[in-house]
């Protein structure tokens, strides 16, 4: 299943906004793939969000002309920020290196805050060809060397239709690096915190597995809303640290105590965790 989530670089909660099953479509003979699912995903997004300013942050699989063109043609208000790897975008990096040798790539150095120290080396150039086959598809490139105090260096690179300049480089970098949130805060949570999300080698003959996946996503969304809006949920989760432990406490309360509403459940959970009971 291909999923899109609303994320913020500086906030933990994420919200899954749409899902597209990766399953062979009616009338097709070839198996489905992520890029085909992405085309359906963006087509559906265009029906509901074409008038909204959106930034789609994608991994290197989508650094190709069909996806870039689809996003830009779907809405003039849509932006993309796609991870770029030298192995998959050789011509893009060849242009970047050539322009850098000619002094056309602009560079900015920024000191890293926090205990790790080190610095960011940010290079950028606007309006280069995505690849040889699509010279008319023009993109902007952000290249970042993250140097830690231990002299270890990590490199991040992105292609985007956001015009790059000295004042927005760190904001663009933060958006690009926030893509890990869909892995950590969505998929790792669903796999390891008792939502039972796993690979089932297909969707079955009918729609049962797909419907189960949608129901799981709805449950996850409800829990994300609780984490954002319910103080008791947040306090209990902070105390217990994992959702698995939170579910264990919640199950024990609901199995052993008769209660009129969920507020009573949360009060009981606060008591069991040794936390001050408050008005919910």
Rg (CA), the chain: 23
Buried b (16+ CB within 10 A) or exposed e, 228-248: eebebbebbbebbeebeebee
Which pLDDT does position 279 carry in this prediction?
59
Residue with tokens 């996806």: 67
> Which residues of the chain have a pLDDT value below 50?
none
Which pLDDT does position 41 carry in this prediction?
96
Alpha carbons 251 and 266: distance in angstroms, whole number: 12
Which pLDDT does position 207 carry in this prediction?
82
Which pLDDT does position 201 carry in this prediction?
67
Residues constituting the chain: 280
Which pLDDT does position 137 carry in this prediction?
97
| Domain coordinates in residue numbering, the chain | 2-191, 192-272
**Closest by Cα among 59, 16, 22, 39 to 187:** 16
And the tokens for 182?
Answer: 């869909």
3-state secondary structure of 47: helix
10 to 27, 147, 174, 181, 253: CA distances (angstroms): 44, 21, 9, 11, 34
Which pLDDT does position 148 carry in this prediction?
79
Which pLDDT does position 74 carry in this prediction?
96
Alpha carbons 57 and 166: distance in angstroms, whole number: 20
């Amino acid at each position: 299943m291909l999923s899109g989530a609303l994320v913020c670089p500086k906030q933990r909660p994420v919200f899954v906004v749409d899902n597209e099953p990766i399953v062979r479509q009616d009338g097709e003979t070839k198996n489905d793939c992520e890029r085909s699912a992405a085309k359906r995903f963006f087509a559906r997004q265009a029906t509901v969000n074409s008038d909204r300013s959106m930034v789609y942050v994608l991994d290197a699989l989508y650094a190709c002309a069909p996806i870039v063109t689809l996003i830009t043609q779907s809405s003039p208000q849509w932006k993309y920020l796609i991870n770029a790897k030298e192995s998959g975008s050789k011509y893009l990096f060849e242009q970047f290196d050539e322009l850098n040798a000619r002094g056309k790539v602009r560079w900015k150095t920024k000191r890293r805050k926090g205990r790790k120290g080190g610095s960011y080396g940010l290079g950028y150039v606007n309006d280069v060809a995505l690849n040889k086959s699509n010279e008319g598809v023009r993109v902007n490139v952000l290249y970042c060397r993250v140097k830690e105090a231990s002299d270890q260096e990590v490199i991040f690179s992105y292609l985007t239709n956001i015009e790059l300049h000295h004042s927005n480089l760190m904001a663009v970098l933060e958006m690009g690096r926030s893509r890990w949130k869909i892995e950590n805060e969505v998929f790792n949570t669903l796999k390891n915190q008792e939502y039972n999300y796993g690979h089932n080698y297909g969707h079955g003959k009918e729609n049962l597995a797909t419907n189960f996946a949608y129901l799981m996503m709805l449950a996850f969304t409800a829990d994300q809303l609780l984490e954002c809006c319910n103080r008791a949920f947040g306090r209990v989760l902070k105390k217990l640290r994992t959702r698995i432990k939170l579910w264990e406490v919640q199950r024990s309360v609901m199995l052993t105590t008769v209660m009129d509403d969920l507020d009573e459940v949360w009060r009981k959970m606060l008591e069991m965790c040794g936390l001050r009971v408050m008005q919910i």
